[in-house]
Amino acid sequence: MFAAQEIVQDDKSEFYRELATQLGALLDGESDPTANAANTAALIFQMVPDLNWAGFYFLRPEGELVVGPFQGKPACVRIAIGSGVCGTAMEKGESIIVEDVHAFPGHIACDPASRSELVVPLIHRDRVFGVLDLDSPSPGRFDVLDRAGFEQLAAIYVAACKWEEHAG
Ligand code: SME
């Protein structure tokens, strides 16, 4: 049985390295994308301070992002590609840090408490098939070290899963 270990670490890069090790252990031996997304969201929400939402949106066959496993308040279900922070990160295939969501044109407010946001694309064999979305109630919560840390976590999640069986 996996039990998350508290990380006492002021150095952000080291914090994410330790969290990445724990995520690898949590997902070890399981390749189901939904199950792994659920546990990844739960671990992130438990361990990373100052978040009010952490979870996944997946590209579905109808060409929209649809919410997947997450922790936090109920969220918008469907997001068009190119829409909001998630749809923009999906379209560009790049992570986006939003220091102030009120200043991001087209930001989709799911939880009005959210003040800043980080969205990381999920990439498998050069295809973007979804995003990992993090929201914080604090403005300017995410910096480049958080971005690098969450990109590392997203890569561990993607590598742990078998995608062919999940398609469609
Ligand atoms: N704020 C996101 C929508 C998803 S919620 O934050 C969970 C966006 O603008 O795409």
Q: Which of 134, 117, 128 is nearest to 45 (CA)?
A: 134
pLDDT above 90 coverage of the chain, percent: 93
Q: What is the pLDDT of residue 166?
A: 59
Gyration radius from the chain CA atoms: 15
Would you place residue 21 in the very low, low, confident or very high pLDDT band (cuts 50, 70, 90)? very high
**Model pTM score:** 0.96
Measure 117 CA to ligand 1 centroid, in angstroms. 8
Write down all domains in the chain, each with its CATH number in brackets: 12-162 (3.30.450.40)
Measure 85 CA to ligand 1 centroid, in angstroms. 6
Write the pLDDT tens digit of every residue in 86-141. 999 999 999 999 999 999 999 999 999 999 999 999 999 999 999 999 999 999 99
**104 contact partners, CB below 8 Å, separation of at least 6:** 85, 98, 117
Q: Which of 68, 18, 14, 67 is nearest to 39 (CA)?
A: 68
Q: What is the DSSP letter of 110?
A: S
Measure 78 CA to ligand 1 centroid, in angstroms. 10
Write the pLDDT tens digit of every residue in 48-67. 999 999 999 999 999 999 99
Measure 1 CA to ligand 1 centroid, in angstroms. 32
Cβ 79 under 6 angstroms from ligand 1 = yes
89: three-class secondary structure by DSSP: helix
Cβ 86 under 6 angstroms from ligand 1 = yes
Cβ 53 under 6 angstroms from ligand 1 = yes
